[in-house]
Amino acid sequence: MDSHDLIKQLAQDARPVKPAPHPLRLACRWTLLGTAYVLFFVCLFGARPDVVDRLADPLFTGEMLLLAITLIACIWSSVLLAYPDAYQIQRPLAWPVISFALLVCMLYTQWVYADPSIATPMHGLSCTIHITLLSLVPAVLLFYRINRMASTHYIKAGAVALLSAFSMGGMVARLTEMTDSIGHIVQWHYLPMLAAAALGTLLGRLLLRW
């Protein structure tokens, strides 16, 4: 076949590709959906009765604020890593790393000033299972959306996608579960989030490659 005829045939057979939206627009959309997801389950399960009093505590408020910042940073990082060139933005993974590091510092501060009279709940594992179940839907949706955009950073994208999903589940748990035992919170809420990020690197390698 003549090269001109081949080019013409390939051009006729090619399907139009819808361009990806601007990352700012996409990140705002994902952030709003994530916020709505958290608020829906907080309303469904019911906020903890002392939530107003707990929000008056600067340590609890700081934890919730940094957890929300970590969630937003992970979502925005996921958006950038979904683009093949990360939209030419340097080090998008630094945002969730910095925010989570600040969250760890806040948890350490809570540990130092923890009230020793607070009993540790006996339902540790069930908390992790509850957070995991809450994280399944956003995790699947994030992986699906990232996969449709042909990311070339599949390991990093998988990590921040699962971390953002578990941040949603963790936020719902903190706002609905009636406990302030810092040992319980670190062991059964936040350490599983790190495990989820590690698992995300493996899932990203398996599910986001193209």
Structure-model confidence comparison of residues 110 and 86, the more confident one: 110
Interaxial angle between packed helices 58-82 and 124-148, expressed in degrees from 0 to 180 and rounded to the nearest 10: 30
Q: For all residues of the chain together, what is the average pLDDT?
A: 89
Per-residue confidence band for 11, with pLDDT thresholds at 50, 70 and 90: low
pLDDT of residue 7: 62
25-53: average pLDDT: 95
b/e 24-61 (16+ beta carbons within 10 angstroms → b):
eebbeebbeebbebbeebbeeeeebeebeebeeeebbe
Q: What percent of the chain has pLDDT over 90?
A: 69
Query: What does the pLDDT look like over 156-168, one tens digit per residue?
Result: 999 999 999 999 9
